[in-house]
Amino acid sequence: MNKYDVVVIGAGAGGLNTAFEAIGLGKKVALIEKNAPGGECTWSGCIPSKALINIADEIHTAQKYGTVNIDGKEILNKVRELVHTAHQAEAVEVLQEVGIDYIKGYAKFKDTNTLDVEGKEVKGDKIFISTGTSALVPPIKGLDRVNYLTNENIFLLKDLPKSMIVLGGGPIGVELAQAFNRLGVSVKIVEMAETLLVREEKEMALNIQKTLDKEGIEVFTSAKGVEVKEEESGVNLIIDKDGNTSVIKAEKILLALGRKPNLEGFNLEKVGVKYNKKGIQVDDYFETNIPNIYAVGDVVGPYLFSHMGAVQAKQAVKNAFTQTKETVDYSNTSWCTFTHPELARTGMTEEEARAQFGNNIQVFTHKYRDVDRAVVDQKTQGMAKVICDEQGYILGASILGERACEMLGELQIVKSFNIPFYKLQEVIHPYPSYSEILLTMSNDAYDNRK
């Protein structure tokens, strides 16, 4: 029998970071994973999607200057090659080198300190669950008889389809719809909410929607996919828009309808770990209702991002083994949707800030078209918005445009360390750079300070 200080279930972003943190504290660690290490991010999420998006962007730019021959097979092979390259950083040998015992297999609880991994017993003083999520497949009529795509099989395609319906206009749907369309796939996107990317600043989500429309994607909003049928020629989706139904067709359909936590099959009930349909319930320090069983990452939520899994893992391990009792400040959560233009976000939207603070907020905006760097780069689409409280501290910010994701980092420092936004204008920024956008808004905040 193998006995460890820490046993981790799942080697995705949450589990890997948990294992590395615990090794850093000198603990004896086992990491159990049914597949290769890396989880969704490496194999069917961030990495393949960003690889595809970047290739699609390069092709889109090149097409401004001439005709480009698109070889779907080669592009998809390249994406898989890049996935394997990224995977090297978390390969089994790398884990073993730092002292993590990697155990390949499916883990099931036997009791609160013991797991069964396909017949082998593994014991841990503390157990960390990080089993992630799977694509949500709702009970849409006919779906069970259709060969649909999800993030789990789309990157395994041998060639690009001619056409594709993307059902769901959240980040997965929108990022992949744009990338596939830029690679020559004729894409239709169906979203039941009023806009795509419904959680984002409305004007920015609409700006992206307009871009997709201009690039040739048929966007159906306030339209619910209600029935699917597969024929020899492809898939028919029946959509319901304001009570009127119509049919749209394509060779393939991609489901991007949200996620479902992986809670079943490993005896959570047997050991009494509490969960609900959103995921495993933990306290502020990531401990479940069962002492010494912790959970982190997507299976906990509330934000399903690789970087959030990493942040939670760090806190959970520190809380479990040191006197520290720290929790994650979710008001500083940031993310980026990798459309073109990119949409980066931290904290509240203007609407959320107004709902909480009424008119006692300050809103600063600046357009990319008024920035020299954007003008010379011909990247003038987009804007940034920073929302501050009355004292000038950032409540939230969104940036839509070139390099938005990298620029958000600067605002994240100011926000996370509680520095008033107007202080940023004291920092020397190089010219010509996109960060002039932040500098200009900070100057406005300085003029507006109380």
DSSP tag of 15: H
| Residue 3 Cα to chain centre, angstroms | 34
Q: Establish whether 191 is an annotated binding residue.
A: yes
Cβ at position 309, least distance to ligand FAD in Å: 4
Nearer to ligand NAD, 49 or 113 (CB): 49
| Residues 6 or more apart whose Cβ sits within 8 Å of residue 164 | 149, 180, 185, 186, 187, 188, 250, 251, 252, 253, 254
Closest residue by Cα to residue 237 from 185, 191, 173:
191
Q: Under the rule (CB under 6 A), what is the footprint of ligand NAD?
A: 140, 167-173, 175, 190-193, 198, 224-225, 256-259, 304-305, 335-338
Closest residue by Cα to residue 335 from 134, 90, 170, 219:
170
Cβ at position 257, least distance to ligand NAD in Å: 4
Cβ at position 343, least distance to ligand FAD in Å: 12
Torsion angles phi and psi, residue 285, rounded to 5: -110, 15
Length of the chain, in residues: 450
Closest residue by Cα to residue 263 from 37, 38, 109:
109
Q: Establish whether 72 is an annotated binding residue.
A: no
| Residue 64 Cα to chain centre, angstroms | 30
CA-CA distance, 326 to 345, in Å (whole number)?
24
Cβ at position 334, least distance to ligand FAD in Å: 10
Q: Under the rule (CB under 6 A), what is the footprint of ligand FAD?
A: 9-15, 32-35, 39-41, 45-46, 49-50, 106-107, 130-133, 151, 172, 262, 266, 297-299, 304-307, 309, 338
Q: Which two tokens stand for residue 405?
A: 């994701």
Cβ at position 250, least distance to ligand FAD in Å: 19
Nearer to ligand FAD, 190 or 441 (CB): 190
Nearer to ligand FAD, 35 or 246 (CB): 35
Q: Establish whether 216 is an annotated binding residue.
A: no
Instruction: Report DSSP letters for 290-319, one per residue.
Output: STTEEE-GGGT-SS--HHHHHHHHHHHHHH
Q: Establish whether 347 is an annotated binding residue.
A: no
Q: Establish whether 169 is an annotated binding residue.
A: yes
Secondary structure class of 45 (helix, strand, coil): coil
Closest residue by Cα to residue 230 from 155, 146, 331, 150:
146
Cβ at position 358, least distance to ligand FAD in Å: 33
Q: Establish whether 170 is an annotated binding residue.
A: yes
Cβ at position 13, least distance to ligand FAD in Å: 4
The listed partner (ligand FAD, ligand NAD, none) that binds 262, CB under 5 to 8 Å by sort, is ligand FAD
Nearer to ligand NAD, 256 or 445 (CB): 256
Nearer to ligand NAD, 125 or 240 (CB): 240
Cβ(312)–Cβ(286) under 8 Å? yes
Q: Establish whether 168 is an annotated binding residue.
A: yes
Q: How many CA atoms lie within 13 A of 145 on its CB side?
A: 9
Cβ at position 153, least distance to ligand FAD in Å: 12
Nearer to ligand FAD, 16 or 388 (CB): 16
The listed partner (ligand FAD, ligand NAD, none) that binds 167, CB under 5 to 8 Å by sort, is ligand NAD
| Residues 6 or more apart whose Cβ sits within 8 Å of residue 186 | 162, 163, 164, 216, 250
The listed partner (ligand FAD, ligand NAD, none) that binds 39, CB under 5 to 8 Å by sort, is ligand FAD
CA-CA distance, 318 to 315, in Å (whole number)?
5
The listed partner (ligand FAD, ligand NAD, none) that binds 161, CB under 5 to 8 Å by sort, is none
SS3 content of the chain, % helix, strand, coil (to 5): 35, 30, 35
The listed partner (ligand NAD, ligand FAD, none) that binds 225, CB under 5 to 8 Å by sort, is ligand NAD
Q: Establish whether 53 is an annotated binding residue.
A: no
Nearer to ligand FAD, 11 or 79 (CB): 11
Query: Binding site for NAD(+): what residues are annotated?
Result: 168-175, 191, 258
Query: Binding site: what residues are annotated?
Result: 50, 168-175, 191, 258, 298
